[in-house]
Amino acid sequence: MEPRPRRRRRSRPLVAAFLRDPGSGRVYRRGKLIGKGAFSRCYKLTDMSTSAVFALKVVPRGGAGAGCLRTQGKVEREIALHSRLRHRNIVAFHGHFADRDHVYMVLEYCSRQSLAHVLRARQTLTEPEVRYYLRGLVSGLHYLHQRHIVHRDLKLSNFFLNKNMEVKIGDLGLAAKVGPGGRCHGVLCGTPNFLAPEVVSRNGHSCQSDIWALGCIMYTVLTGAPPFMASPLSEMYQNIREGHYPEPAHLSANARRLIARLLAPNPAERPSLDHLLQDDFFTQGFTPDRLPAHSCHSPPIFAVPPPLGKIFRKVGQLLLTQCRPPCPFTPKEASGPGKDGPDPDSMEWGGESSLSAKGVPCLEAPIHLLAHGTLQSDLAGPEGSRRPEVEAALRHLQLCLDVGLPATQDPLGEQRPILWAPKWVDHSSKYGFGYQLSDGGSGVLLRDGTHMALRPPGGQVCYMPDRGKLETFTLRDVPGPLCAKLAVLQLFASCLKRQLREEGTLSTPVPPAGPGLCLLRFLASEQGLLLLFSNGTVQMSFSGIPAQLVLSGEGEGLQLTLWEQGPPGTSYSLDILRSHGCAPATRQHLHHAFRMLQSI
């Protein structure tokens, strides 16, 4: 039996080096190929009369067969839809023309390529970057949905970046108008990994189907892989219908919750675009106003926005004129839509004597973080595991909970000077979380995930832009780009020191902290506040209970220090807790600190 002759692929007609739009008379020079899809190719295009640069989408016209006629009809629908759209987050449509072989669409040129290129270079993106991109995508998608248009093919390669790093939704080849019932007819089209359950079940696309795709995109850029990947295709579609995907445990709680909302199998349970940006993921996290161009290939280091004078005036007004005696620690809800963080009058101040006695909180109340901050690159260890300091703190807390039987009262302890933060101020929604150490030093975990500290006695400035990177300066030698951050730190420090002096609660001198000591994390919930330092020290303040807890040291040198009604605190060694146990109230404090640290 003779082998069947191989079908020869039909070659695409060549695109001329120079093209003329017969309608306008403009002449363009075709440049390099910048992208290609199943039915089209995209080139860089230059207007010969103005030197303006565009992107040229080229679709072959083909012959007169049924398939070619269908393709021609799709191109006509794409032009009809896209040419009427005007929005900063949608690729601009500048015109179209055709010749015997091709249909040409002149589009906005996005010089930074697509988010697919960014993810290929970066593997994963940071949560501030994801918030930035999602804000633009939600804005553009909301514009489409208001005009009863569903995109039907939202994916990373269809999100383009211009020279200013503004994200643009493009490639409306599959976009369609929804019918009176809010749905398109039940055609299975789009990228398989990002198809919504109702689309897989052939119930048609709707605006909620695009929102599902946003959830897939958010998951992909944060983890480096789509939520739904399986072979064969039928297995993946079954996972999509049931909403089964790998839990991204290393992400923040707010990110995980928003992904779960977006990937709800029931379309009615997904958030609307009108309310999406009010989610805790956006309101309780830092969103940059813009991204640097180098973030296409390396993680950005976010800076406090200039000018310096504006920072001095604004922070000075908020801090120096608002200093007052500390109020009880009562975490506030995040700012609502349209607000840029909390009102100055709602700034939270804390200290060892600032808690009012209102009884013990319910031990098993669910942990819901109202605010939190993390040092840059400290989200997780290798392969999604926790950082060593977090694991060590959990082990130490577990040791204290496991040793001995519960006692009726705490054992006799000692009064030892320890390094801890007797004062702190939470203004993380705008600037950062500032704290005063018992050695006289001060620090701030800034909103952009960097850390800066002033070390006594000479006022050495220690700056940590990323985990493991330490830069030290004298006050005179601080680089210009860091002066705004130093201003924030100094204003926090001066106000906290003044409060300590006024209250007469200056701590007993302790050995000064090393230059590498920094606040890794702070966690605020309705039950209290937890601080985790890079030396493994865990500090916990409890809402409604006049108590502070500090766990410090290593191994057999581990010690627990408690403040019940203000200083001085009482310290217990691990050996004493082993032999004597601890009172029920102390055990409750330890248990809650353990659960709160587990929640991250």
Short-list 544, 538, 499, 546, CA closest to 522: 538
Q: Where are the alpha helices (DSSP H) in 341-449?
A: 388-402
177 is in an annotated binding site: no
Short-list 156, 152, 149, CA closest to 222: 156
Q: Are 506 and 500 in contact (CB under 8 A)?
A: yes
Residues forming a β-bridge with 464: 451
Q: Are 432 and 445 in contact (CB under 8 A)?
A: yes
What are the catalytic residues? 153
Q: Where are the alpha helices (DSSP H) in 356-507?
A: 388-402, 483-503
* Backbone phi and psi for residue 79, each to the nearest 5 degrees, phi listed first: -65, -45
Q: Which helix (H) or strand (E) holds 141?
A: helix 127-146
| Percentages (nearest 5) of helix, strand, coil residues in the chain | 30, 20, 45
Q: How far apart are CA 214 and CA 69, in angstroms?
A: 32
Q: What is the DSSP string of 80-101?
A: HHHTT---TTBPPEEEEEE-SS
Short-list 600, 582, 599, CA closest to 399: 582
Residues forming a β-bridge with 433: 426, 445
Q: How far apart are CA 429 and CA 443, in angstroms?
A: 17
Residues forming a β-bridge with 41: 36, 58
Residue numbers belonging to the annotated binding site for ATP: 57
Residue numbers belonging to the annotated binding site: 57
